[in-house]
């Protein structure tokens, strides 16, 4: 006896199933990374530890060469600062504790980031950035970047 199954629903294509599975897996990885960051924040109220844990988790999540946290000096007008936390692939030079003077940033971009702007740049040479800003970024082997402002407007 032969049984015939007639279904009116099309069988999903393997590519579609793989794409959905891949997307779900990526979302799960993002949730795990966020959960890890939150757990580390709860363990410590020390900003240095929080920034370091976050750099590690975000670098793993984004699968990138470097994640760094940069702090501007409060009284510099957004011109001077230093890298205070970093997770970096061993193939790249560390920027940790490097001082930066970037007068272009303060003049051209600071107000936008104060207002919460987030910017992703695939290639700094194609992003219509000012030459002086490209020069500063290039010093630190930065070719692509994601800028997310972490603002403390109540500093003293």
Domain of 67, CATH number, reads 3.30.450.40
Task: Provide the number of structural domains found in the chain.
Answer: 1
What torsion do the CA atoms of 8, 9, 14, 15 make, to the nearest 10 degrees? 120
pLDDT of residue 153: 62
Confidence class for position 17, pLDDT limits 50, 70, 90: low
- For residue 53, being part of any structural domain is answered with yes
- For residue 126, being part of any structural domain is answered with yes
pTM of the model: 0.68
Per-residue pLDDT tens digits for 39-74: 766 676 788 888 998 899 899 989 999 999 998 887
- For residue 55, being part of any structural domain is answered with yes
List beta partners, residue 82: 71, 99
- For residue 152, being part of any structural domain is answered with no
Domain range for residue 51? 14-147
pLDDT of residue 89: 96
User: Who has greater pLDDT, 121 or 26?
Assistant: 121
Q: How much of the chain exceeds pLDDT 70, in percent?
A: 81
């Amino acid at each position: 006896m032969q049984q015939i199954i007639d279904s009116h629903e099309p069988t999903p294509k393997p590519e579609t199933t793989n794409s959905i599975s891949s997307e779900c897996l990526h979302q799960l990885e993002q949730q795990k990374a966020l959960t890890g960051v939150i757990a580390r924040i709860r363990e410590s109220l020390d900003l240095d530890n929080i920034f370091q844990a976050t750099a590690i988790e975000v670098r793993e999540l984004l699968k990138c060469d470097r994640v760094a946290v940069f702090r501007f000096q409060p009284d510099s007008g957004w011109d001077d600062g230093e890298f205070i936390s970093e997770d970096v692939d061993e193939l790249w030079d560390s920027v940790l504790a490097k001082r930066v003077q970037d007068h272009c940033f303060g003049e051209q971009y600071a107000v936008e980031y104060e207002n919460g702007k987030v910017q992703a740049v695939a290639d700094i040479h194609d992003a219509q950035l000012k030459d002086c800003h490209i020069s500063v970024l290039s010093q630190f082997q930065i070719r692509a970047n994601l800028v997310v402002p972490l603002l403390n407007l109540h500093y003293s």
